[in-house]
Amino acid sequence: VLAEQDSAAAQQYVRQGCPTALRADLWALILNISNQPEDILYYEQLKSNVIQHDLLVDSLIYKDVKLTASNDDYYFVFEDYLYQVLLCFSRDTSVLEHFSYSSATPPKSYIQGKLGMEEYAVFYPPNVNYNSFILSVAPLCFLYHEPSKLYQIFREMYVRFFFRLHSISSHPSGIVSLCLLFETLLQTHLPQLFYHLREIGAQPLRISFKWMVRAFSGYLATDQLLLLWDRILGYNSLEILAVLAAAVFAFRAVNLMEVTSLAAAE
Amino acid sequence: FRIMAGKVKWVTDIEKSVLINNFEKRGWIQVSENEDWNFYWMSVQTIRNVFSVETGYRLSDDQIVNHFPNHYELTRKDLMVKNIKRYRKELEKEGSPLAEKDENGKYIYLDFVPVTFMLPADYNLFVEEFRKNPSSTWIMKPCGKAQGKGIFLINKLSQIKKWSRDSKTSSFVSQSSKEAYVISLYINNPLLIGGKKFDLRLYVLVSTYRPLRCYMYKLGFCRFCTVKYTPSTSELDNMFVHLTNVAIQKHGDDYNHIHGGKWTVSNLRLYLESTRGKEVTNKLFDEIHWIIVQSLKAVAPVMNNDKHCFECYGYDIIIDDKLKPWLIEVNASPSLTSSTANDRILKYNLINDTLNIAVPNGEIPDCKWNKSPPKEVLGNYEVLYDEDMAQSDGPDRDLRSRSGPSTGVKGSRARDPGKPVLTTWK
């Protein structure tokens, strides 16, 4: 598949999960990332923007990375890469293209002293929930060690999939639909468990929401997480997150039937 | 005629919970050094006394200790290098294919220790080498210390004037082994992950040297520096950039107590497979296994293979950016302190599996046993090399079977360890 550089075939292939050595290339193929010189140049430009202009979000990013990735057994190693990617991302106006098919409008601001001048406008990515961002980038660090390629892969993953987890929409892969799908699956297949958990005040969605909104990053070992994301790319949908969440409940159904509180359920 | 079998009686002079908890969970009985004991987990100072000529006591068949009497042949930096150099020369003399060299005179299969000299003994040899490459960086390490103590980097001859034999100050430098240093070519191109330098800590259990039987613990870890790596000469003094010892890093501003700067070897594997490919990753790990076995073979002939002994070593390995592993040193007493929760679990299990192999069935030992534990008790250990098995069947049945020169088995056949004169193996 790689020799043919066939993107559609790659997508079919990864539905079964990728072998670790091929994953980086297969994903790049599916996402149409080829790391051309102009891409690298674009990234370098973003980097220089970072150096030239500080944004207030930078502090937020810094703080959030310190709170999440720096404490994580798997991802602490990539702390510096995470800063790089996220700081550049917050200045990347090309991300705005996706707003043509999203219902949110991004907040706009201007570089200090240049209020009103459009060319100095800076757009913030929607929903400044950096924890989720950070944990969406971190697993990718296991696959791509060149910052510019890492950046592009992340950006593409974000605009294709992850942004749907952070904004309200009616899209079947949007977080709202995922929640609905999860609850429906649980109710249909494990009605007793669903009822029991609700009775004890441990609404299942309260537990599984954070898994889904982070695409399970931080909750699964990295090698398994990557296998999960293989399927997201393969099926071009986030629905698997809801399915996995429901499956986790099914897997633990016996134990869960015996708990009596939300804390115990967690 | 044996006294009625009872519980194993243990002593230790290392007060670490990962040890004591393991003894207690087996229902073993704690006794003092002066009483009859079966199992003594000693510090390296104590083993010196036990086997010393003056005070040495004779161990009986139901007593086991956790060090070989002259482990320092492997675990002192200068002796390790001496033994490896000697081993290589011997293989070369007997025409072994293992000792093959390339067109630059470098050993193809046995070049796994950075160029090293003893100071002050080899000072002049060192200067000669230094001058061939005056922009190189070298690392000075005291022979008898641990935990990164006393280590520093140099890039100018003037920085080690003290060790020059001709120096006027040399008479003040004690020639005793405490002041001896080794100087090695510094690996200034370590593989970096996330921009940081790291090394590998692997645990290897040796139950006997002749025949060589060793096990590798599957759960090793990487120790990362907290500061990004730079080969810049302005940072040669910054130990947080260069030395991976936890004892040093934990004093850094960015040291984190949750993960302790440690990564599992399986994370390393996943990262390397994903970014570099499966083949080169497998080759790297095979090479790592190879150099561990070669280092043990190098010291096997000089080791006192006392039947009362076993030893669990901490191997320190650095990988460079060409994915070549380098043996930095071997520790006889790897730290049993736990820096994080995961660390505690790992070390607890390490001791558990070690005891299961060294003290079969957790019963009072009999040193006449054949030291061949059944596969089920290995736990997280894997057989790294078993000389008996390697001799008896052609294809290697252990971790080395995937690579390494196929002549490896024949290489061991040609040697008769223990005798200074080479005889053919019968």
Asked if B274 lies within 8 A of A20 by C-beta distance, the reply is yes
pLDDT of residue B280: 94
pLDDT bucket at B395, cuts 50 / 70 / 90: very low
pLDDT of residue A115: 53
HEC string of B70-108? Answer: CCHHHHCHHHHHHHHHHHHHHHHHCCCHHHCECCCCCEC
pLDDT digits (tens, 9 = 90+) for A210-262: 888 888 888 888 989 999 999 888 888 888 888 888 888 888 888 888 877 77
Nearest CA in chain B to A138: B194
- A76, A79, A85: best to mutate for the B interface, most B CBs within 10 A: A76
Is A69 an 8 Å CB contact of chain B?
no
Asked if B259 lies within 8 A of A19 by C-beta distance, the reply is no
pLDDT of residue B402: 37
Asked if A71 lies within 8 A of B259 by C-beta distance, the reply is yes
pLDDT digits (tens, 9 = 90+) for B338-381: 878 888 899 999 999 999 999 988 888 888 888 888 888 899 99
pLDDT of residue B245: 79
Give me the mean pLDDT over the B240-263 stretch. Answer: 78
Give me the mean pLDDT over the A35-54 stretch. Answer: 81
Supply the DSSP string of A104-116, one letter for each residue.
----EEE-TT-TT
Asked if B274 lies within 8 A of A72 by C-beta distance, the reply is no
pLDDT digits (tens, 9 = 90+) for B62-71: 899 999 999 9
Is A62 an 8 Å CB contact of chain B?
no
Q: In percent, how much of chain B has pLDDT > 70?
A: 87
Distance in angstroms (rounded) separating the CA atoms of residues B39 and B19:
12
Nearest CA in chain B to A224: B270
Is A27 an 8 Å CB contact of chain B?
no
pLDDT bucket at B312, cuts 50 / 70 / 90: very high
Give me the mean pLDDT over the B98-116 stretch. Answer: 89
Contacts 24+ apart (CB under 8 A), B409-416: B411/B91, B411/B96, B411/B97, B411/B98, B412/B212, B412/B297, B412/B387, B414/B94, B414/B96, B415/B297, B415/B301
pLDDT of residue B23: 92
Measured in angstroms, the CA of A156 and the nearest CA of chain B are apart by: 19
pLDDT of residue B406: 35
pLDDT of residue B412: 35
For residue A109, being part of any structural domain is answered with no
pLDDT of residue B393: 59
Tell me the CA distances in angstroms from A136 to A75, A139, A222, A242, one per residue in order: 11, 7, 12, 17
Q: Which residues in A lie closer than 8 A to residue B228 (C-beta atoms)? A: 80
Over 90: is that where the pLDDT of B324 sits?
yes
Is B321 an 8 Å CB contact of chain A?
no
pLDDT of residue A105: 52
Nearest to A71 among B258, B264, B277 (CB): B258
Asked if A143 lies within 8 A of B194 by C-beta distance, the reply is no
Nearest to A79 among B194, B258, B277 (CB): B194
For residue A37, being part of any structural domain is answered with no
Q: Which residues in A lie closer than 8 A to residue B279 (C-beta atoms)? A: 21
- From the CB of residue A93, how many other CB atoms can be counted at a distance below 10 Å? 12
Distance in angstroms (rounded) separating the CA atoms of residues B16 and B266:
27
pLDDT of residue A110: 54
Nearest CA in chain B to A139: B271
Q: Token pair of A146, please?
A: 């060149």
Give me the mean pLDDT over the B174-195 stretch. Answer: 79
- The parent domain of residue A236 ranges over 168-265
pLDDT of residue A69: 81
Global pTM reads 0.83
pLDDT bucket at B41, cuts 50 / 70 / 90: very high
Tell me the CA distances in angstroms from A29 to A26, A98, B101, one per residue in order: 5, 20, 43
pLDDT of residue B403: 38
Tell me phi and psi for residue B141, to 5 degrees. Answer: -135, 130
Q: B221 in helix, strand or coil?
A: strand
pLDDT bucket at B147, cuts 50 / 70 / 90: confident
Distance in angstroms (rounded) separating the CA atoms of residues B40 and A189:
58
HEC string of B32-65? Answer: CCCCCCCEEECCHHHHHHHCCCCCCCCCCCCCEE
Q: Which residues in A lie closer than 8 A to residue B278 (C-beta atoms)? A: 19-21
Q: In percent, how much of chain A has pLDDT > 70?
A: 85
For residue A177, being part of any structural domain is answered with yes
- B275, B342, B345: best to mutate for the A interface, most A CBs within 10 A: B275
Give me the mean pLDDT over the A31-35 stretch. Answer: 82
Q: Please provide the average confidence, as pLDDT, over all residues in chain B.
A: 82
pLDDT bucket at A122, cuts 50 / 70 / 90: low
Measured in angstroms, the CA of A19 and the nearest CA of chain B are apart by: 9
pLDDT of residue B418: 29
pLDDT of residue A62: 82
Asked if B256 lies within 8 A of A76 by C-beta distance, the reply is yes
pLDDT of residue B396: 43
Nearest to B274 among A24, A74, A80 (CB): A24
Q: What is the dihedral of CA B228, B234, B238, B239, to 10 degrees?
A: 80
Minimal CA–CA distance to A136: which of A245, A218, A71, A24? A218
Q: B277 in helix, strand or coil?
A: coil
Measured in angstroms, the CA of B269 and the nearest CA of chain A are apart by: 10
Number of Cβ pairs < 8 A linking chain A and chain B? 59
Over 80: is that where the pLDDT of B282 sits?
yes
Is A68 an 8 Å CB contact of chain B?
no
Is B344 an 8 Å CB contact of chain A?
no
For residue A115, being part of any structural domain is answered with no
Asked if A73 lies within 8 A of B258 by C-beta distance, the reply is yes
For residue A29, being part of any structural domain is answered with no
Given a contact cutoff of 8 angstroms between Cβ atoms, the answer to whether B388 and B399 are in contact is no
pLDDT of residue B5: 58
Among A174-188, A194-208, B76-90, the range with the most confident prediction by mean pLDDT is B76-90
Nearest to B195 among A80, A143, A144 (CB): A80
Q: Which residues in A lie closer than 8 A to residue B225 (C-beta atoms)? A: none
Distance in angstroms (rounded) separating the CA atoms of residues B80 and B67:
16
Give me the mean pLDDT over the B75-95 stretch. Answer: 93
Q: Please provide the average confidence, as pLDDT, over all residues in chain A.
A: 80
Over 90: is that where the pLDDT of B178 sits?
no
Over 50: is that where the pLDDT of B419 sits?
no
Q: Name residues whose C-beta falls within 8 Å of residue B240's C-beta, 6 or more positions apart in sequence.
A: B225, B226, B227, B248, B249, B252
For residue A151, being part of any structural domain is answered with no
Count of domains forming chain A: 1
Q: Token pair of B139, please?
A: 């690392």
pLDDT of residue B20: 93
Asked if A23 lies within 8 A of B274 by C-beta distance, the reply is yes
Asked if B193 lies within 8 A of A77 by C-beta distance, the reply is yes
pLDDT of residue B397: 40
Asked if A20 lies within 8 A of B273 by C-beta distance, the reply is yes
